[in-house]
Amino acid sequence: MTTVFSRQQAYEAMTIMLRSRCFEQRLDELFSRKLMHGTTHLAIGQEAAHAGLAMGLAPSDWIVPTHRCHGHTIARGTDSYAMFAEMFGSRDGCCKGLGGSMHMTDAAHCNAGSSAVVASGVPVATGMALAFKRNGNKAVSVAIFGDGASSRGAIHESMNLASVWRLPVLFFCENNGYGMSAPVERALSVSAVSERGPSYSMKSNSVDGNDVEAVYAAVKEACDHIRSTSEPFLLEVHTYRQCGHSKNDARVYRTRDEERRWLERCPIEQFKTKMIARNQLDERQFAELEQRIRAEVVAASELAQQTASDHISLNEALSYVYAGDDLEKAVASVSCGHVARLA
């Protein structure tokens, strides 16, 4: 099933996808000019997966992204300036400049944070779902991971527990065809990650991750199932990163012909064609929207560059690391018996 967006929904989806694309293109430019340092993992070409997921969730639902997190962070509502500031390491960053590209968190927008450790966010999302259930919270926790991460033990352990304890977690797999340089067909024992759902008594689905409306509809269906049954759901979206795994990846493991075929399926261009055919916008309006968003992104990056030297002190950084007495007491009061009773 694919939902057909209203004009307002279509405009929102296109805005999210263009903002993600422009942000990452600007990042790539800053790195190539050696104005930004470290590393980054871009998701250019995967924007429909980000927008479709974000639009399909309720405002109170939480996400736990992967190290390829920019698109999901933008789609959930984080300010571009805060993200650029984080990349430059300044105190205005969404993590005070302490996290960088692979560790972006924004609790105000229900983003529990990404991690450079592959698959490490999945147990976190599963634990959040356990907390939601214990507290009577109707929110859904979204564990985002890639096809490469899908073979990590932490994911299988999390899926098993989520099924046994009937936890409200959406396992959201972005299958972009490669785990770094390893093609998915040489790394998986099944033809699709979604096939693993039934092994854990878990409902699953697989959709075109370059079709933002298909992703949105699948997410809505999955979340409705989770909320009505308090059971987890595995959703696989098939997409493709147009760039390399990281900024130093020359993509020697795939052909230019393959890249050309996927470029023809660019999620932004595909959805632009649909919107024009439905009279939801025209070429001039699209160009104006893209130009406005690109200008906003560039302005945000330039402002972040001006404040890049404003770092937090070591003492201030340490104050965010060590918990106070109240948190320590709260953790100590939680017994294993509370968890066991959920089984």
Domain-embedded: residue 124? yes
Residue 2 is assigned to a structural domain of this protein: no
Cα 85 to Cα 102: distance, rounded to the nearest angstrom? 14
pLDDT (0 to 100) of residue 340? 40
1 in a domain, yes or no? no
Give residue 333's pLDDT.
52
Phi, then psi, of 145 in degrees rounded to 5: -155, 170
Radius of gyration for the chain, computed over Cα atoms and rounded to the nearest angstrom:
20
Residue 280 lies inside a defined structural domain of this protein: yes
| Structural domain count, the chain | 1
Q: What is the predicted pLDDT for the residue at 337? A: 39
Q: Which residues, given as ranges, of the chain have pLDDT below 70?
A: 1-2, 323-343
Check residue 1 and give its pLDDT. 62
pLDDT at 220: 98
- The predicted-structure confidence for 249-271, as pLDDT tens digits, reads as follows 889 899 999 999 999 999 999 99
- Specify if 263 maps to a domain: yes
Residue 148, domain member (yes or no): yes
Domain of 130, CATH number, reads 3.40.50.970
What tens digit of pLDDT does each residue of 185-226 get? 888 888 889 999 999 999 999 999 999 999 999 999 999 999
Q: Which single residue is written with the structure tokens 């994911």? A: 155
Under DSSP, the state recorded for 313 is P
- 3-state SS string for 230-270: CCCEEEEEECCCCCCCCCCCCCCCCCHHHHHHHHCCCHHHH
pLDDT at position 39? 87
117 token code pair: 């450790």
Which pLDDT does position 24 carry in this prediction?
97
Q: Is residue 196 in some structural domain?
A: yes
Decide if 286 contacts 274 (C-beta within 8 A): no
Report the pLDDT value the prediction gives residue 324, as an integer from 0 to 100. Answer: 66
Domain region containing 323: 7-340
- Residue 236: its pLDDT value, please? 98
SS3 146: strand
126 inside domain:
yes
Give the residue among 81, 78, 80, 100 at the shortest CA–CA distance from 89.
100
